[in-house]
Structure 1
Amino acid sequence: MGSAPSEPRGTAPAPATGAEPPAEPRADRYLPGTVARTAKILVVGDFGVGKTSFIGSVSEIRPLRTEEPITEASTGVDDLARLPGKTSTTVAMDFGRITLNPSLALYLFGTPGQRRFWDMWAGLAEGAVGVLVIVDSRRLAGGFDVLDQVETHVPAPFAVAVNHFPDTPPHPHERLRGALDLLPHTPIVDCNALDRDSSVAALVALAEHALAVREPAP
């Protein structure tokens, strides 16, 4: 499924003669020796749909975040409707890693959601083998715009994950498929971005879809 920047395997190298010994490394900083393939996954979505929470819930390393406080300068620019507890926002990217199975590790790159940052997506998408589009069905119009951006500027297969908030109303997948104008083969999955198991299931659905697109059955 493609490759991502190499990462050390096994244990950390010994320090140079005379150097102070390094602090004991966390074991999860290094890929297991069984990993044979790595793949880059882009995680996108509208402002406030839960991308940072999603990557934080599944990452086996401490995620890299570029969050800044939301200030009065965003008043009238960023729609905080139905987001009463949101006090910060991603301004560059989120990054995490998950070993999906003993032989495959995924590198997760999360994009900022505001339109003024969408120009960054092309660079972040370079080398990605799949895109997970997170949507909030309470604010579906923003998800439609994000999908249009993905289809236009990100040349990779994608799946849609519907992030469920406490007040998210239930919607049949086929109704959401019609509202988002998705093709029949595009996967739609439900998830809770704060729950690791459901978030991992969304990544598995995307990985299976990306493999099916790249390696169609004869």
Structure 2
Amino acid sequence: MAFGGSDQVSDTGVIPTSIKIVVAGGFGVGKTTMVNSVSEIPPLRTEEVLTEASVGIDDMVGIEGKETTTVALDFGRITINPRVVLYLFGTPGQNRFWFMWDELAMGALGAIVLVDTRRLDSSFPSIDFFEHRNIPFIVAVNGFEGTWPHTEAEVRQALDLDDGVPIVRCDVRERESSKDVLVELVQYTMNQLSASARL
């Protein structure tokens, strides 16, 4: 699946089909970085500097060097071809901003749940959220420092995922890696829709 530029849409005069994708996960797993690395436009970011007010509220274990946080959403766009455009919505990770998730997920074709295997417990709320709303999702294991210390089977077991949920490895700092995750999600959701249509 090739990713084109936004100029293809205006040149053809075709009104594209827009597909909404949610990029979710726990606090500090790389959601903003992923949207930033793959968006063809300068992404809209709602980041604020972490202050002492978050001490004791936000779990900083394993991400002590983090200085900013998303307080509303991240937004990016990718033109797949003149007929299909992906709109990416990155969710805030902290529990205190979860009231926004229902709005961000409304109308989404599917979701990417980013996972940091050093802090797997932060992944469960995201997985539960999409399972309870029957929104197709895949799990993308973000390889911090370029390492993936656990096998797919170990991650699947630790997260108690159904066998059908895809797990992919990625480095969200790299555009190609983030694109591969999006391709996996789109293919998975299309297969899910086809299977539902046959029932």
Q: TM-score, normalised by structure 2?
A: 0.89
Distance 1:148 1:54 in 2: 21
Say yes or no: does 1:170 pair with 2:149.
Answer: yes
Opposite residue 31 of structure 1, the aligned amino acid is V
Q: CA deviation at 1:86?
A: 1.0
8 Å CA contact 2:9–2:16 kept in 1: the answer is no
8 Å CA contact 1:51–1:134 kept in 2: the answer is yes
Give identity over the alignment, percent.
50
Gaps of 5+ in 2: none
Distance 1:31 1:45 in 2: 31
Partner of 2:62: 82
| Equivalent residues, number | 191
Opposite residue 157 of structure 1, the aligned amino acid is P
Q: Deviations over 1:167-215 (max 9, x none)?
A: 7442110111111111111111011111000100000000001001111
Higher relative CO (Cα under 8 Å, sequence separation at least 6) belongs to 2
Match of 1:205 among 180, 184, 195: 184
Partner of 2:49: 69
Instruction: Pick the structure with more helix per residue.
Output: 2
User: Structure 1 residues 35 and 136, CA, compared in 2 at 3 Å: closer, same or farther?
Assistant: farther
Gaps of 5+ in 1: 1-26
Say yes or no: does 1:108 pair with 2:50.
Answer: no
Q: Report the RMSD for the aligned CA atoms in angstroms.
A: 1.9
Partner-residue secondary structure (3-state), 1:65: strand
Distance 1:138 1:161 in 2: 14
8 Å CA contact 2:37–2:175 kept in 1: the answer is yes
Match of 2:174 among 167, 187, 195: 195
Q: TM-score, normalised by structure 1?
A: 0.82
Opposite residue 25 of structure 2, the aligned amino acid is G
Distance 2:69 2:18 in 1: 28
Partner-residue secondary structure (3-state), 1:98: strand
Match of 2:27 among 27, 47, 51: 47
Instruction: Pick the structure with more strand per residue.
Output: 2
Partner of 1:14: none
Distance 1:121 1:208 in 2: 24
8 Å CA contact 2:28–2:93 kept in 1: the answer is yes
Bigger radius of gyration, 1 or 2? Answer: 1
